């Protein structure tokens, strides 16, 4: 039987060590081993994006990444978005725009959208739609989500100016 | 659904990877970005007892340009191929095709070598590399082997990879000055879908090379369509005839995205568009 592997990594800025089996995806490690249950399991094959996290600053679907392979890497999850009690502007904009209903897709959208705004502070609507193509929502019909991202981008620009 | 149990090997050299794969034969599979292997294992299409991760092997993810052309290490993630300044400037067809795979998250994980080894008929890179007359370098227990990409795809999800072999590099010759190109993909439902039909064209003074995806058990070169264009060149009538020839020579399957007949019609439409809109 496969033995567990010791993995050292950084998650949301903290050094983290955990043990996992080779067959555990990064998503399973986050949820089942580390109790970081913000990232969600949807399709489990890379289509729905509910498990989106940043791996070395690039978005990946964590259901497709083997947990043992994040050794030495930097991971950011939805749990790292808010600073203490203050929500990230994207989280605030999702609330204000009612950009969620059941909420399962929301963490993935937030992480993917933050990765976009970190790179491109003022993306066009089209750009946002292409960027978020790997995130499926079965409730909202997307318009409110796109509006929330644009709204957050605007507010973040104002804060900077 | 959890992955079935397997033993994960993380070799640090190519030789080590090859000997692990050779030693375990049919019981072993290599894994790179995981975007194909993980779902295949999760949903039970593959159940290897040994999985050999290639990601820890240094030097397999480099892009280098020489007088002969371009070499791309098999472990290079798709986003780096699509975003490479050299690829975009000198082989824009390839940048366009690779940048069309799925979504940003998938292109961050997935690798060029993985995409080709998977031998998906509706691959974005495959028709482009067929039209560019690329070749792939494989390393195995018997040594190195170079295979022209035109002979690499052998059947439905089947590539010419012998037991123990690993795809290590893709080589692409220079495109002659003055060559024109086109890459078009048609996804019936939404942009991030696999293409129902995709078309890559390179037109040089010596002739037109056409790669087609999604319309046969593998990506193919449309040789009969190319032959039609050989004499007359890109006249409107020859383009119509070439589009008909391509529709005839492909051998599509019916699936949820479209019937075989619809795919044939779409080959006709999209090849005509590609040939009339060369850049």
Distances, alpha carbon B50 to alpha carbons A23, B5, B11, B25, B100, in Å:
11, 9, 12, 9, 32
How large is the average pLDDT for residues B198-214? 97
Of the three residues A33, A52, A80, the one that is the final residue of a domain is: A80
Q: Is residue A74 domain-shared with residue A101, that is, in the same domain? A: no
Q: Which two tokens stand for residue B170?
A: 């893709």
Instruction: Report which secondary-structure segment, H or E, holds A89.
Output: helix A89-96
pLDDT given at position A115: 98
Among A59, A80, A101, residue at a domain's last position: A80
For residue A115, CA distances in Å to A16, A69, A92, A141, B19 come to 22, 21, 16, 22, 40
* CA pair distance B39, B36, nearest whole angstrom: 6
Q: CA B184 from chain center: how many Å?
A: 14
For residue B191, pLDDT over 90 is answered with no
Q: Does B177 touch chain A (CB under 8 A)?
A: no
The shortest C-alpha distance from A22 to chain B (Å) reads: 6
Closest by Cβ to A23, choosing from B6, B103, B104: B6
Q: What φ, ψ does residue B29 adopt, rounded to 5°?
A: -140, 140
Instruction: Answer yes or no: are the C-beta atoms of B163 and B25 closer than 8 Å.
Output: yes
Contact A134 B103 (CB under 8 A): yes
Rounded to whole angstroms, the Cα distance separating B116 from B5 reads: 26
Residue B257: per-residue pLDDT: 87
Q: Are residues A43 and A95 in the same domain?
A: no
State residue A85 phi and psi, 5-degree precision: -90, 0
Q: What CATH code is carried by the domain that includes residue A56?
A: 3.10.20.30
Token pair recorded at residue B191: 């942009």
Range of the domain at A96: 89-160
Which of A64, A69, A105, A110 would best serve as a mutation to test chain B binding (most B beta carbons within 10 A)? A64
Closest residue in A to B104 (Cα) is A131
Residue B37 and residue B80 in contact, taking contact as beta carbons nearer than 8 Å: no
Interface probe, candidates A127, A134, A142, chain B, greatest B C-beta count within 10 A: A134
A to B CB pairs, distance under 8 Å: 83
Domain containing A123 — which CATH number? Answer: 1.10.150.120
What's the pLDDT band for B190 if we cut at 50, 70, 90? confident
pLDDT 10s digit of each residue in chain A, 161 long? 558 999 999 999 999 999 999 999 999 999 999 999 999 999 999 999 999 999 999 999 999 999 999 999 999 999 999 999 999 999 999 999 999 999 999 999 999 999 999 999 999 999 999 999 999 999 988 999 999 999 999 999 998 87
Last residue of a domain, one of A80, A103, A134: A80
Name the A residues in 119-148 with CB < 8 Å from any B CB. Answer: 130-131, 133-134
The radius of gyration of chain B's CA atoms, rounded to the nearest angstrom, is: 19
Do A112 and A149 lie in one domain? The reply is yes
A33 with A62, same domain: the answer is yes
Does A72 share its domain with A100?
Answer: no
Mean residue pLDDT of chain B comes to 96
Alpha-carbon distance B33 to nearest alpha carbon in chain A (angstroms): 8
**Left if phi > 0, otherwise alpha if psi is -120 to 50, otherwise beta: which for B69?**
left
The number of folded domains in chain A is: 2
Q: Say if residue A95 is in the same domain as residue A152.
A: yes
Interchain CB distance below 8 Å, B53 and A69: yes
**For B97-127, what is each residue's pLDDT tens digit?**
999 999 999 999 999 999 999 999 999 999 9
What percent of chain B has a predicted confidence (pLDDT) above 90?
A: 95
Q: Are residues A99 and A64 located together in one domain of the fold? A: no
Q: Is the pLDDT of residue B135 over 90?
A: yes
B199 contacts B127 by C-beta, under 8 angstroms: yes
User: Nearest CA to CA, how far is B91 from chain A (Å)?
Assistant: 23
Burial B138-177 (b: 16+ CB within 10 A, else e): bbbeeeeeebebbebbeeebebbbeebbbbbbbbbeebee
Output the pLDDT for position A1: 52
Helix (H, G, I), strand (E, B) or coil at B67: coil
Considering the domain architecture, whether residues A96 and A146 belong to the same structural domain is answered as: yes
3-state secondary structure of B149: helix
Taking the Cβ of residue B55 and every Cβ of chain A, the question of whether any pair is shorter than 8 Å is answered with: yes
**In B220-259, alpha helices (H):** 223-230, 236-249
- Look up the ipTM and state it: 0.95
- Write out residues 52-71 of A within 8 Å (CB-CB) of B: 52, 55, 58-61, 63-66, 68-69
In this prediction, residue B113 carries a pLDDT of 98
What's the whole-number mean pLDDT along residues B136-156? Answer: 97
| A96 plus A72 within the same structural domain | no
CB contact (8 A) between residue A25 and residue B3: yes
Residue pair B111/B77 in contact by the 8 Å Cβ criterion: yes
Q: Is B2 part of the contact surface with chain A (CB cutoff 8 Å)?
A: yes
> Which residue among B5, B10, B35 places its CB closest to the CB of A2?
B5
Task: Give the chain B residue nearest A56 (alpha carbons).
Answer: B108
Identify the pLDDT of residue B192: 85
Mean pLDDT within B150-162: 97
Q: Do A11 and A72 share a domain, yes or no?
A: yes
CB < 8 Å to A74, chain B: none
Q: Quick one: pLDDT at residue A2? A: 54
Q: Quick check: A23 and B5 CB within 8 A?
A: yes
| Closest alpha carbon to A101 in A46, A129, A58, A142 | A142
Distance CA(A110)–CA(A102), nearest Å, equals 15
Using alpha carbons only, how large is chain A's radius of gyration in Å? Answer: 16
Cα→Cα distances B34→B109, B165, B224, B278, Å = 7, 18, 36, 35
- Nearest chain B alpha carbon to A136: B192
What pLDDT does A160 receive? 82
Residues A73 and A114 in one domain: no
Shortest Cα–Cα distance, B3 to chain A (Å): 6
Q: Where are the alpha helices (DSSP H) in B4-152?
A: 14-24, 37-42, 78-83, 85-90, 92-98, 104-109, 112-118, 125-131, 149-152
% of chain B exceeding 70 in pLDDT: 100
C-beta atoms of B105 and A112 within 8 A:
yes
pLDDT in tens, B50-92: 999 999 999 999 999 999 999 999 999 999 999 999 999 999 9
Domain identity same for A65 and A28 = yes
Give the separation between CA B265 and CA B220, rounded to whole angstroms.
17
Determine, for residues B103 and A66 on separate chains, whether the beta-carbon distance falls below 8 Å. no
């Amino acid at each position: 039987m496969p033995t567990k592997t010791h993995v050292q990594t950084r998650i949301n800025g903290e050094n983290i060590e955990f043990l996992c089996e080779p067959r555990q995806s990064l998503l399973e490690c986050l949820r089942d081993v580390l109790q970081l249950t913000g990232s969600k399991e949807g399709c489990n094959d890379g289509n729905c994006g509910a498990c989106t996290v940043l791996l070395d600053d690039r978005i990946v679907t964590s259901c497709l990444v083997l947990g043992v392979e994040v050794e030495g890497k930097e991971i950011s999850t939805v749990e790292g978005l808010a600073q203490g009690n203050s929500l990230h502007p994207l989280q605030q904009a999702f609330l204000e725009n009612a950009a969620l209903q059941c909420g399962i897709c929301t963490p993935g959208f937030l992480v993917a959208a933050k990765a976009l705004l970190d790179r491109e502070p003022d993306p066009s609507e089209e750009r946002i739609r292409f960027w978020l193509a790997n995130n499926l929502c079965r409730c909202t019909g997307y318009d409110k989500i796109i509006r929330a991202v644009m709204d957050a981008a605007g507010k973040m620009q104002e804060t900077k100016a | 659904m959890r992955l079935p149990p397997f033993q994960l090997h993380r070799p640090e050299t190519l030789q080590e990877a090859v000997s692990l794969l050779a030693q375990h034969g049919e019981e072993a599979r290599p894994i790179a970005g995981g975007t194909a292997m993980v779902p295949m294992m999760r949903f039970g299409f593959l159940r290897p007892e040994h999985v050999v991760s290639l990601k820890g092997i240094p030097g397999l993810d480099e892009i280098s340009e020489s007088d002969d052309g371009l070499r791309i290490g098999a472990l290079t993630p798709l986003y780096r191929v699509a975003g490479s300044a050299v690829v975009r400037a000198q082989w824009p067809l390839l940048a366009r095709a690779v940048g069309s795979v799925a979504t940003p998250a998938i292109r961050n994980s997935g690798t060029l070598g993985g995409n080709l080894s998977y031998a998906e008929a509706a691959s974005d890179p495959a028709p482009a590399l067929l039209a560019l007359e690329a070749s792939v370098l494989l390393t195995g227990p018997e040594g190195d082997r170079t295979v022209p990409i035109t002979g690499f795809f052998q059947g439905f999800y089947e590539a010419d990879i012998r037991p123990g072999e690993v795809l290590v590099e893709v080589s692409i010759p220079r495109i002659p000055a003055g060559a024109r190109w086109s890459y078009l993909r048609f996804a019936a439902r939404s942009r991030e879908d696999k293409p129902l039909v995709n078309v890559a064209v390179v037109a040089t003074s010596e002739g037109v090379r056409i790669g087609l995806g999604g319309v046969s058990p593998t990506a193919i070169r449309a040789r009969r369509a190319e032959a039609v264009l050989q004499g007359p060149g890109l006249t409107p009538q020859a383009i119509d005839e070439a589009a008909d020839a391509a529709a005839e020579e492909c051998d599509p399957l019916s699936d949820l995205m479209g019937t075989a007949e619809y795919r044939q019609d779409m080959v006709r439409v999209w090849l005509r568009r590609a040939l009339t809109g060369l850049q």
